[in-house]
A and B are shown apart, each in its own frame.
Chain A
Amino acid sequence: MSEIAAAGLRPAWRGRLGAEADRAAPDARRLLQLALAGIWLLDGVLQYQAFMFSKGFTEMISGTASGNPRAVASPITWNASLVQHHLVLVNAISATIQVLLGIGIAWRPAVRVALAASIAWALGVWWFGEGLGMVLTSAASPVNGAPGAVILYALLAVLLWPADRPGRPAPFTAARAVGAPVARALWLVLWLSLAWFALLPGNRAPQALSAMIANMESGEPGWLAALDRGAASLLARQGLAASVVLAIALVIVAVGVYLPARYARGTMILAIVIAAAIWVVGEAFGTILTGGGTDPNSGPLLVLLALTYWPARAVVTRPAPAAAAITEGTAAS
């Protein structure tokens, strides 16, 4: 970054060079795209881990077929077989593709191509590698990553697409490309589905949540394992109550995007807190610290998603005409 040496020059420098300097300063959507690029890059790097070149990775893929309808499970089984027979090649290519997606989103001239490719790739992995996030089985839970981290990559790519719809200014970044009604509907569907998953019989059983968290302990560093043990102990035999509380919180988050801006911000903070708690306690940072995590899991993506819906204090303006009015915005438009 350029740095003018004399601090005393800053006001004058900014006054004269402000327009020039600002050209390199990314706007909110670009920053969110860069965050998405970073997660893709991290994803690709994780895919190079030794575990991914082992039989365990194949077993992980084939395991996502169980419980799914036959039409969904058959392609997963076929994919697992393909990976098993060409493990090194397929995994190396997969890792490289994900690294390139991250680089492509960060490299401005390639952002559209990379985002489009990331949608196609994410949908493919969601089905063939994650069994549709297990949403068609009884095993889906917001605490263990439903509806599948990779589908959130695709959703973010759509919402952060570098285009602006004509008409009224967007009340939040996610509405710029698809419009506020569509963006809100997507948010509502996602978070209501998470609430639904939280209330599935398998998740509201007395020991379900506690056992799910306790299972994450294996292989984790001592402090994280202790955290998981503590959380599991706290939730022991409290499955129903915890699921209901979680579901209520998720419903509040779901409808928050329809509230006026000041309340919507509160629900976005709630969404971020829930996502962070899920990431740390329920997902154990995507089990990255065990050397076997294929991605950071859904926590960071839910945080990123909440940030794309953060109500703008000044409504996001269109690039042209330059003199578009800036008005105090509310989430409801």
Chain B
Amino acid sequence: MIPSPVLDIFAALMLLVAAVSAARLAAARPWRSGARRAALADIDLAHLLMAPAMAGMLVASLQTLPNGAWEAVFAVMTAWFAYRVLRDAQVSGVRALAGGHCAPHLIHAGAMLYMFLALSAPAAHGSGGMSGMSGMGTLELPFLAFGFALALVGYSIWDLDQLSGPGTSGHYSLTVARPAPAGPVLAGVGASAGPGATAVLTEPASPPVVTETIETAPEVPPASAPADGTGVLAPWVATGCRIAMGITMAFMLVIMI
């Protein structure tokens, strides 16, 4: 048996992630900001759903919804992120299937669905169902659990590197403004991002700023758009949540093997 304090610590971490994700959604107010923010709200919403579900799997007293409901939630979420990944692949190429913005979320959602389905299987019931977290040998297809754990560890490590490196890519930020080398720069990308967009090269008169669009949202405002990228909406906050969830999920998968 895994000591309950260990499980409690991971569950507390997940509740913290849920609280942060809720705060991000509240601060971003995607329901009032049009399609642009709504396009990214799915990630915080996914975190907000996954984190309590994981906490409930770790500590029985934190269970909220029945297993069947969670299975439905994560089936829909997996399908949604699969669609997003495929759409990214159409725009950005095959590399988006593994290295795209939504690929880690697809793995997260798929792993959650797998865990709930595996724990609902007859083999798991004999070990205590959802409270079987503290036991072992409860999962069907343990190699799949190992594969998911490897992928989650890989994405977490990659996120940590990218988060701490120079030229951080800034996950989840809608626009990232940063200094660019002197010389001609790409302008107008943010305003015209999307299939068929055109680039305009201009000579900068003042310290140049490059505006990158991070998502394939239908409309993207200029870099002066307020609020994004600061406080609880800072890109590193969401990436930090993803890292915490990835490690915790890998932990859960491994202890369930």
Contact = CB atoms under 8 A, between A and B. Distances in A.
Interface residues of A, number: 50
A102 interface: yes
Nearest to B250: A45
Q: Which 8 pairs from chain A and chain B are nearest by CB?
A: A23-B167, A5-B193, A6-B197, A106-B160, A291-B136, A24-B167, A108-B164, A5-B216
B195 interface: yes
Contact of A4 (B167, B185, B212): B212
A5 B195 contact: yes
B254 interface: yes
A47 B26 CA distance: 38
Interface stretch (B61-69, B86-94, B113-121): B86-94
Contacts of B212: 2, 4, 17
A107 to B, nearest CB: 5
Contacts of A224: 143
Interface of B: 1-3, 5-6, 88, 91-93, 96, 99-101, 134-137, 142-143, 146, 149-150, 153-154, 156-158, 160-171, 176, 178, 180-181, 183-186, 189, 192-199, 201, 210, 212-216, 247, 250-251, 254-255, 257
Interface of A: 1-9, 12-13, 16-17, 19-24, 26, 30, 34, 37-38, 41-42, 45-46, 48-51, 53-54, 88, 92, 99, 102-103, 106-109, 221, 224, 285, 288-291
Given A17-B180, A107-B164, A6 B195 contact: yes
Nearest to B212: A2
Contacts of A106: 156-158, 160-161, 164
Contacts of B135: 50
Nearest to A6: B197
Nearest to B158: A34
Contacts of B149: 42, 45
A38 B194 CA distance: 35
A108 B214 contact: no
25 contacts: A2-B176, A2-B212, A3-B88, A3-B91, A3-B101, A3-B215, A5-B91, A5-B195, A6-B192, A6-B193, A12-B199, A13-B186, A13-B199, A20-B180, A24-B165, A34-B161, A41-B156, A45-B250, A48-B251, A49-B257, A92-B3, A106-B161, A106-B164, A224-B143, A288-B257
Contact of B164 (A3, A50, A88, A109): A109
